[in-house]
Chains A and B, each alone.
Chain A
Amino acid sequence: MGAVRWMLAKDIRILRRSPVLTLLLVFYPAAIAVLIGLALSRGPGLPRVAFLNEIPPRDAVITLGTTRIDTTLYERQLFQAMAPVPVSTRAQAIADVRDGSTLAALIIPADLPRLLASADQSAYVQVIYNGDAINQSLVEDALESKLAQANAELAEQLEKVADGYIDLLLSGGRLSFLGLNFNVLGLRDSATILDGVLHGLPRGSPLRARIAPVAGFAKIAFNNLASSKQVIGAVGAPIVVRQQIISGHRTPLDYYAVAVAVTVSLMFVCLMLASGTLALEREENTLERLRRGLVSPFALLGEKALLATACAAFVGFAMLVGIGLFVPLHWSRAGLWLLAVAGGSLAFATLGVALGGLVRDVRAASLLALLVSFPLIFLALVPAGSVAVGLYDAIRVVSAIFPFKAALEAVDAAVNRSSPGLWAALGHLGLLVLGFGTLARVGLRR
């Protein structure tokens, strides 16, 4: 026990004398815990969706025959799957989606009741996305089941209306239209009457030949119309969803995952390699020797960044080629893939040498690279609208000053033609290269 006590006292003393390590040990897990806590505190919350109902209140209830359908029921059904943020215009809905304050916008168009009643065109609701695959997936997942449920209920109501009309056509009855009542004969009675007329006609009557086909048609119509009720019941989606992407090309989630996988690989290779090779110079005591004019700081940092960039770009490009053998990627854009992975790698490598300048050995550099990487990936993949607006703004700032988000956008744009475009993302990465290059230069003076 004595030995344990003395060793414990020694370790505590060492920790007290290593304030940076101690702060890291305390604050890093706390920071990660806060991030996870924030994420969980929102879940399983509903995705925030801008909502615009363009149906005038007087048209919200439609009448089909004797059945009244309240379209606001459909609206309430959808609200079980999302947190609606009411907006008053389409422009406002699009602005909310564009600035990330909502994941998507749901618009119920003014002519939905008319289209539902008319049956010659499909009724639809419109969902607007910003092109972000994760956002789109979240909203789709949330709305899909509720849409199906609402459609099933609507379809049941519409089926009842249609069944009523078909029964009227088959069996006859009373029909109210514009305040007037009519007696409808019905196909069954029509066939019976026509058969009676045929039997009553003399054998050689020329009317027999003219009435016989009509009587036959009445029987066929009766038999087939009766089975058409089953067909109407099988058509279960009276309202369809029309999707609109407001910025550029939509990336399906599978293809977005390709871009994420490649970007994560670029980041790990670059941060580990660039920070590690620079830290190795300090660890081997060669940095001071080199700094005596053998190698300029710019050349030294440039060499480390170049090596990491080349290795990571090779890995990233090879990954895309390998994935392209199994997933249909656009091979004609291979040049742009290379440009994107090279741009992303250079930015990560510059961050890597900035980190490598801060530490004295390779193990510390690797640890620092890992500590920096995980939160950046986590933050960059937080969907807009899934956290509070203020928090998302803070996340956007952090994501903008580190290269992961911009590199992901560049790779996504090159592979999937998503928005923002490749050149905007590369411009962003270029600015980060300048910023982290300057920090690396300062760090090397230590």
Chain B
Amino acid sequence: MAVPTLEARSLSKHFGDRVALSDVSFRLDRGEVLAVIGPNGAGKTTLLSLLAGAAPPSTGEVIAPAGERIGWVPQQTAVYSKLSVLENLRLFARLERVGDADGAVAEMLEQTGLRERANEQLGRLSGGNRQRVNIAIGLLARPAVALLDEPSAALDPRQRERLWRFIAARAQAGTSIVFTTHDIGEAERYAARVLVLADGELLFSGSPAELRRHGSGDIESAFVAFLRERGH
């Protein structure tokens, strides 16, 4: 039986009267790559914020093995634009109390292809490169679980391909990955399992192949058909 690294139990989040997430439960196994998809406003970002501990749930709980780190890459880049790439990575490595901070920073610069631009200020980088730094910071501490909120949104196809190779390598090394995306094809290609959220409710949990059965064409058509079928 697979070893769970993260478990959500009946997670709900309310903002005033608005229900952003309602009674969501699932388990994430070690090394598993899980995609969370859904229409805009479905609750994908809220779910990742709760799993990351960036916001408290209204009800429910997130269970993670003691001592395991959870890495989080927020949808909007969360970096200091007046610091260089190297300074950002070093700062967060120290705040994360990474054992060999300099080694982790060097490894991340190598893996994200930012070594050449290490001394450039973040504010002068393109959106795609800023996003690469954003991702690097989330994965600096070699977390057991990496939560990535639309990680490929600002990347060009070549950077995107490189990102997924990087994530796949991490998953093979045992890191569990949860990512959100609007690109359903991307979810099919890289995730072993898909969660479908709509209006804060968890409507589907299964493999991309199982989701595809809800339609006759490609997975995107199947996804739209599934949502229609469920009244969304």
Contact = CB atoms under 8 A, between A and B. Distances in A.
Q: Indicate, yes or no, whether A interacts with B.
A: yes
A347 to B, nearest CB: 28
A7 to B, nearest CB: 29
Interface in B52-86: 52-55, 72, 74, 76-81
A420 to B, nearest CB: 43
A13 interface: no
B192 to A, nearest CB: 26
Interface string A19-60: 000000000000000000000000000000000000000000
A289 B76 contact: no
Contact of A286 (B53, B55, B78, B96): B78
A285 B76 contact: yes
A120 interface: no
Contacts of A288: 49, 54-55, 74, 78
Interface in A283-297: 284-286, 288-295
Contact of B96 (A285, A291, A294): A294
Interface string A280-311: 00001110111111110000000000000000
B143 to A, nearest CB: 11
Given A290-B95, A294-B95, A294-B96, A285 B53 contact: no
B78 A284 contact: yes
Nearest to A293: B53
Contacts of A292: 52-54, 72
Nearest to B96: A294
Contacts of B81: 284
Contacts of A285: 74, 76-78
- Looking at chain B's contact residues, is the secondary structure mostly helix, strand, loop, or mixed? loop
A285 B131 CA distance: 13
Given A284-B80, A295-B95, A289 B74 contact: yes
Nearest to B141: A294
Contacts of A295: 95
A314 B95 CA distance: 28
A292 B72 CA distance: 9
Nearest to A289: B78
Given A292-B72, A294-B95, A286 B52 contact: no
Contacts of A290: 95
A16 B12 CA distance: 33
Interface in A243-298: 284-286, 288-295
Interface string A157-188: 00000000000000000000000000000000
Nearest to B95: A294
A293 B52 CA distance: 10
A372 B102 CA distance: 44
Contacts of B78: 284-286, 288-289
A282 to B, nearest CB: 10
Contacts of A289: 54, 72, 74, 78, 92, 137
Contacts of B92: 289, 294
B54 A291 contact: yes
A142 to B, nearest CB: 54
Nearest to A445: B56
Contacts of B96: 294
Contacts of B74: 285, 288-289
A294 B53 CA distance: 11
Contacts of B49: 288
Nearest to A294: B95
Interface string B135-152: 001000000000000000
A285 B72 CA distance: 13
Contacts of A293: 53
Contacts of B76: 285
Contacts of B79: 284, 286
A293 B79 CA distance: 17
A289 B80 CA distance: 12
A294 B72 CA distance: 12
B15 to A, nearest CB: 12
A286 B95 CA distance: 12
Nearest to A288: B54
Interface string B31-53: 00000000000000000010011
A288 to B, nearest CB: 5
Interface in B11-44: none
Contacts of A284: 78-81
Interface in B92-108: 92, 95-96
A284 B121 CA distance: 14
Given A284-B79, A286-B78, A294-B96, 10 more contacts: A284-B80, A285-B74, A286-B79, A288-B49, A288-B55, A289-B54, A289-B74, A289-B78, A292-B52, A294-B92
Q: Give 5 closest A-B pairs by Cβ, nearest first.
A: A285-B78, A294-B95, A289-B78, A288-B54, A285-B76
12 contacts: A284-B79, A284-B80, A285-B76, A285-B77, A286-B78, A286-B79, A288-B55, A288-B78, A289-B78, A291-B54, A292-B54, A293-B53
